[in-house]
Chain A
């Protein structure tokens, strides 16, 4: 601590530097210090200092997802952007938001809502999550159905490079093809290419009305309904399929399909009626509105990503499947698995109370034989050390390595945390 903190003290004010205990760190991370720059210039100075001293650096926002990803090869310094939390520009008429990476989604939401706008992401730990952390982990949820992933929402980025220089790409307009799309390169890169300092998103208008339909029943009927729904002209804002154990947490029996419709009131009613008309006699349906409509989605998120871990043996994984394979895959999960798959994209989350390496391999195989993927987010350290955390099965690792070598030539940014040990 002394050495790193002392050296850093020559670059930034002392009050920016705190001991590791200032964050709730996973056991495998034992940095000498955590530093909280308050300006982009300070962040730049810190990174230049880290580079000169060959420190291994892991960036974070609030630190709620530091345990995600690979275990890595140690760390000297954690750089938190939590104090870089300013809104630079909410261009109301243009429906864009430019803010620093440490701004919290939960703090921004009311501000945007004043203008009937919102940032269309629903990540894990929504109270803690910062914009930078959300982008670095590409973490959003059910809203992917209508609004896409982070890659579809992010239109501009600034980040501090390994050498402390500040680079940017994209801009503040919703349509822009000038230059390489570094927004997409940095999205989901887990701090392995640079430290995100500022982001610009496209915003969406708030919706007049909202209702959720919950349909429950057995696997066969559910699969048929989902298939019919995909082929229908309905446009749910969110559409998830839940495993029986997760449905049970919400008070339902069997598999559950939850579809949220948001639009002007007549539009919502029209869509709800259309969906109800598709529900056969073997399934049961319920329409939620008002607080219930809001609550059911929050409960799904909280069940998959509880704020306080009940047991630390649990594993949480991000999965991807062709949408038509989702229900079958859910049906093959060990009973008690909490799982949610987004109906349109086939991306989802699964949470098991405990798992062995063999179980992980088997679950992963179920995804990869369908051209999908299975990536561990949370897992006990011993498990992460005994299996491949990321499960990348493609043939472009060489390209990823070449990019990493350019953006982080000394392998000091989140070393070993990313795909293939990058």
Chain B
């Protein structure tokens, strides 16, 4: 079924208006060209938008949004499309506004440690632009070589180094935003804590439901003088979890602290063959510390001691850049390695209090057994942000639904121990029906006020983030089927 057959909207005048505003070469209508935009990183859901537009400037974004407002058609913003929660998944009969070609670094101010970028700028371009002067941009999602800053802002992305330095919201000073009405406003500014409500803080992580950021002022940091990576391997997951707790309790905040279980580390050894992860280890910890040389050396020694006290078998320490990268390589390739082990994998993103790690990991294993699926655990252990990877085969009917049920059970487990259903991927289309597990109807109503204030006609990414009674009924068995009735399943 094509879009045109299903649509109840007359798209001709709308597309004409877009063509006038942007030029017809920036309005994508052909089915074959639209195909690439029908999903984001959450590839199990697909939906073709009615039309895709590629604005180049803030004014063009505003013009497009004003047209959407005039014709009362919903729009979805998309950066690089690497998000994992379906935040940029199009909705039927919607306009997809792609900011990928807004890819200019607008200004670099080293003295004040700020960089202003357009939303389509790729995350690690920021660091590349300032690394010569000894600076870097801290938030580093695993997809940082392909994900856009605009998407990072929408999802409040994290990454390996967010343990010490914070997530995206801690590094965004100001935003130029096109509101759902098409008005252009500046939120925040050049200096933190501008008078008035912290709208910049409210906007970051709002998943495209409050408007579209078209200019982003980022804080950059001075690169540390010294960096050390420790690899510790353990004969039980519980021991690795206990080491994480011991390090945290000792008052040490590493730049990053990552854990991989036996299943994951063998998968990466199979695929990228780093030969540095012992295949018989139940779990490994990768711990990065940074700072001035004396601090790094002393802290590294303390961490090594704490790991040994908690049963670490061997500890490898890397200080040279090449050796550090080698230790990190397997972790960075972990998701991709799963792709080689299994036709498909489903990644979840829950958070737990750090002290609950050993218990939760056992429970996840039990849940996996119950549902009959293998779950690989690769995660940000330092801040309790889990990424269970569930391996399955989408070609087998019913597996996706079963795997989503298992993912849902894992999220409920996270909430039960006092955690959250998302640490860095966002709620998007994937998890909004789990919001009531974490928040009361009053909480959700109050969050709805924010949306009502900025987007009273519910045109900006309307089916994301907050649940609606219509789509997330109590009887929801398969979230996919209930949440996204018009979406094809792949």
CB pair A93–B418 under 8 Å, yes or no, is no
B156 at the interface (CB under 8 A from A): yes
B99 at the interface (CB under 8 A from A): no
CB pair A323–B113 under 8 Å, yes or no, is yes
B476 at the interface (CB under 8 A from A): no
Which listed residue, B194, B295, B425, B443, touches A373 by the CB 8 Å rule?
A: B194
Nearest CB of chain B from residue A93's CB, rounded to whole Å? 4
The interface stretch among B13-21, B31-39, B261-269, B450-458 is B450-458
In the assembly, what is the distance between CA of A93 and CA of B110, in Å?
38
A97 at the interface (CB under 8 A from B): no
CB pair A171–B420 under 8 Å, yes or no, is yes
CB pair B189–A175 under 8 Å, yes or no, is no
Nearest CB of chain B from residue A226's CB, rounded to whole Å? 10
Q: Which residues of A contact B251 (CB under 8 A)?
A: 116-117, 205-207
Q: How large is the interface on B (under 10, 10 to 19, 20 to 34, 35 or more residues)?
A: 35 or more
CB pair A231–B447 under 8 Å, yes or no, is no
CB pair A390–B196 under 8 Å, yes or no, is yes
Nearest CB of chain A from residue B474's CB, rounded to whole Å? 20
In the assembly, what is the distance between CA of A345 and CA of B184, in Å?
26
Q: Which residues of A contact B291 (CB under 8 A)?
A: 235, 263, 267
| With contact pairs A176-B351, A185-B450, A266-B298 given, residues A169 and B202 touching in the complex (Cβ less than 8 Å) | no
CB pair A227–B111 under 8 Å, yes or no, is yes
**In this complex, what residue of B is CB-closest to A269?**
B294
B329 at the interface (CB under 8 A from A): no
CB pair A346–B191 under 8 Å, yes or no, is yes
In the assembly, what is the distance between CA of A398 and CA of B452, in Å?
13
A90 at the interface (CB under 8 A from B): no
In the assembly, what is the distance between CA of A324 and CA of B113, in Å?
9
Which listed residue, A93, A232, A263, A390, touches B354 by the CB 8 Å rule?
A: A93
B405 at the interface (CB under 8 A from A): no
Nearest CB of chain A from residue B455's CB, rounded to whole Å? 10
A347 at the interface (CB under 8 A from B): yes
In the assembly, what is the distance between CA of A169 and CA of B440, in Å?
10
The interface stretch among B46-54, B164-172, B339-347 is B164-172
The interface stretch among A14-22, A210-218, A249-257, A402-410 is A402-410
Binary interface encoding of chain B residues 439-452 relative to chain A, with 1 for a CB under 8 A from any of its CBs, else 0: 11011111101111
Q: Which residues of A contact B248 (CB under 8 A)?
A: 93-95
In the assembly, what is the distance between CA of A26 and CA of B427, in Å?
45
CB pair A373–B191 under 8 Å, yes or no, is yes
B2 at the interface (CB under 8 A from A): no
B385 at the interface (CB under 8 A from A): yes
| With contact pairs A148-B166, A270-B293 given, residues A205 and B192 touching in the complex (Cβ less than 8 Å) | no
CB pair A168–B353 under 8 Å, yes or no, is no
Q: Which residues of A contact B453 (CB under 8 A)?
A: 399, 402-403, 405-406
Which listed residue, A166, A174, A227, A232, touches B383 by the CB 8 Å rule?
A: A174
| With contact pairs A173-B351, A396-B185 given, residues A181 and B205 touching in the complex (Cβ less than 8 Å) | yes
A189 at the interface (CB under 8 A from B): yes
Q: Which residues of A contact B204 (CB under 8 A)?
A: 181
In the assembly, what is the distance between CA of A181 and CA of B51, in Å?
31
CB pair B454–A402 under 8 Å, yes or no, is yes
Q: Which residues of B contact A346 (CB under 8 A)?
A: 112, 191-192
| With contact pairs A167-B442, A267-B298 given, residues A188 and B193 touching in the complex (Cβ less than 8 Å) | yes
Which listed residue, A180, A234, A263, A394, touches B185 by the CB 8 Å rule?
A: A394
In the assembly, what is the distance between CA of A182 and CA of B112, in Å?
28
A2 at the interface (CB under 8 A from B): no
CB pair B195–A187 under 8 Å, yes or no, is no
The interface stretch among B222-230, B272-280, B391-399 is B222-230
Nearest CB of chain A from residue B413's CB, rounded to whole Å? 13
CB pair A93–B450 under 8 Å, yes or no, is no
In the assembly, what is the distance between CA of A175 and CA of B380, in Å?
10
Residues 238-267 of A at the B interface (beta carbon under 8 Å): 263-264, 266-267
Which listed residue, B353, B355, B454, touches A399 by the CB 8 Å rule?
A: B454
A151 at the interface (CB under 8 A from B): yes
The tally of CB-CB contacts under 8 A between chains A and B is: 279
| With contact pairs A188-B198, A233-B224, A323-B113 given, residues A179 and B447 touching in the complex (Cβ less than 8 Å) | yes
Q: Which residues of B contact A321 (CB under 8 A)?
A: 191
B285 at the interface (CB under 8 A from A): no
Residues 138-188 of B at the A interface (beta carbon under 8 Å): 155-156, 158, 162, 166-167, 169-170, 179, 183-187
| With contact pairs A92-B249, A185-B198 given, residues A175 and B418 touching in the complex (Cβ less than 8 Å) | no
Q: Which residues of A contact B192 (CB under 8 A)?
A: 149, 320, 345-347
In the assembly, what is the distance between CA of A402 and CA of B113, in Å?
33
Binary interface encoding of chain A residues 198-237 relative to chain B, with 1 for a CB under 8 A from any of its CBs, else 0: 0000001111000000000000000000010011111100
In the assembly, what is the distance between CA of A394 and CA of B196, in Å?
9
Q: Which residues of A contact B367 (CB under 8 A)?
A: none
CB pair B454–A182 under 8 Å, yes or no, is no
**In this complex, what residue of A is CB-closest to B246?**
A93
Nearest CB of chain B from residue A43's CB, rounded to whole Å? 14
Nearest CB of chain B from residue A170's CB, rounded to whole Å? 8
CB pair B199–A399 under 8 Å, yes or no, is yes
CB pair B199–A172 under 8 Å, yes or no, is no
CB pair A173–B196 under 8 Å, yes or no, is no
In the assembly, what is the distance between CA of A287 and CA of B198, in Å?
38
CB pair B295–A175 under 8 Å, yes or no, is no
CB pair B196–A392 under 8 Å, yes or no, is yes
CB pair B418–A172 under 8 Å, yes or no, is yes
Nearest CB of chain B from residue A363's CB, rounded to whole Å? 14
Q: Which residues of B contact A172 (CB under 8 A)?
A: 353, 418-419
CB pair A151–B201 under 8 Å, yes or no, is yes
**In this complex, what residue of A is CB-closest to B177?**
A396
Q: Which residues of A contact B155 (CB under 8 A)?
A: 177
**In this complex, what residue of A is CB-closest to B252?**
A205
Question: Which A-B residue pairs are the 10 nearest by beta carbons?
Answer: A205-B251, A184-B201, A267-B295, A320-B191, A406-B449, A371-B190, A93-B355, A167-B446, A402-B453, A176-B420
Given contacts A176-B419, A394-B185, A398-B185, 9 further A-B contacts (CB under 8 A): A95-B248, A117-B251, A152-B166, A176-B420, A178-B439, A179-B444, A181-B156, A181-B205, A182-B446
Interface residue ranges, A against B (CB under 8 Å): 91-96, 116-117, 138, 148-149, 151-152, 161, 165-169, 171-182, 184-185, 187-189, 193, 204-207, 227, 230-235, 263-264, 266-267, 269-271, 274, 318, 320-324, 345-347, 370-373, 375, 390-392, 394-400, 402-403, 405-407, 418-420
